[in-house]
Chains A and B, each alone.
Chain A
Amino acid sequence: EIVLTQSPDFQSVTPKEKVTLTCRASQNIGIDLHWYQQKPDQSPRLLIKYTSQSFSGVPSRFSGSGSGTDFTLTINSLEAEDAATYYCHQSISVPQTFGQGTKLEIK
């Protein structure tokens, strides 16, 4: 089973700041890495698929990069509405797995 480790577990940031979240895979997953945002009491929402493809309707301040084992989600010019928990997910092999999540707090 591929283990995804996200860092940090928690981050407190100010609006307009640039934020970089990371996800490390325990083995090479190519670009089959996806990012989700989950706000309290809501379903998760896809932000980025296959490392860097922005999903429909996602603000352009969200971007993704990486390959192999190291991936990043970047949020440029953070907004208050970006307060959420962010999860990475790999789909290259079964069982598919999620990272443990990074909780983003807006100061």
Chain B
Amino acid sequence: EVQLVESGGGLVQPGESLRLSCAASGFTFTDASMTWVRQAPGKGLEWVGRIKRPSDGGTPDYASFVRGRFTISRDDLTNMLYLQMNSLKTEDTAVYYCGGYGIDYWGQGTLVTVSS
């Protein structure tokens, strides 16, 4: 069974940093591109970025609103996906979901609140 478990969310102040993690299991991690999607309270889904599988280069792509502030990485030895978020803004407040195989599979999400 595919499982994606996000962690690392919490309350931070504007300008601070946070690193989200996603633990993947139940599938061959290196076969999958992995994605981050977020959802602000009461709003729709927003694509944050994805990282390709190693055989496709393992490179990340980002939404325009996060480029330069967020970094997606993966550890193919430990089946972990990461989202490093710097210079956080109040508008980054959202539930952040990890997606596997593109976004065929979703985690339960982790809430990030950016507030002073």
* B50 and A43 within 8 A (CB): no
Q: A44-B45, A101-B45 are in contact. Are A95 and B62 (CB under 8 A)?
A: yes
* B64 and A49 within 8 A (CB): no
Answer yes or no: A18 CB below 8 A from chain B CBs: no
The interface on chain B, measured as residues whose beta carbon lies within 8 A of the other chain's beta carbons, has a size of 21
Chain B 33-56 interface 0/1 with A at a Cβ cutoff of 8 Å (1 = within): 001010000001111011000000
Q: A1-B64, A98-B47 are in contact. Are A89 and B109 (CB under 8 A)?
A: no
Write the nearest CB–CB distance from A87 to chain B, whole angstroms: 5
Answer yes or no: B104 CB below 8 A from chain A CBs: yes
Residue in contact with A44 in the complex, picked from B49, B63, B106, CB distance below 8 Å: B106
Residue in contact with A101 in the complex, picked from B44, B49, B102, CB distance below 8 Å: B44
* A45 and B61 within 8 A (CB): no
A46, A99, A100 — most chain B CB neighbours (10 Å): A46
Chain B 78-116 interface 0/1 with A at a Cβ cutoff of 8 Å (1 = within): 000000000000000000010000111111110000000
* A46 and B62 within 8 A (CB): no
Residue in contact with B104 in the complex, picked from A38, A46, A87, CB distance below 8 Å: A46
- The residue on B at minimum CB distance from A93 is B61
- The residue on B at minimum CB distance from A90 is B47
CB contacts (< 8 Å) of B45 on chain A: these are 36, 38, 44, 87, 89, 98, 101
Answer yes or no: A91 CB below 8 A from chain B CBs: yes
* A91 and B64 within 8 A (CB): no
CB contacts (< 8 Å) of A43 on chain B: these are 97, 106-109
A-B contact pairs, 26 of them (CB 8 A): A1-B64, A36-B45, A38-B45, A43-B97, A43-B106, A43-B108, A44-B37, A44-B45, A45-B106, A46-B104, A46-B106, A49-B104, A55-B104, A87-B45, A89-B45, A89-B47, A89-B103, A91-B102, A94-B61, A95-B47, A95-B49, A95-B64, A97-B47, A98-B45, A100-B44, A101-B44
Given A43-B97, A46-B106; 14 other pairs, CB 8 A cutoff: A1-B64, A34-B103, A36-B103, A43-B106, A44-B97, A55-B104, A89-B45, A89-B103, A95-B47, A95-B49, A95-B62, A95-B64, A97-B47, A98-B44
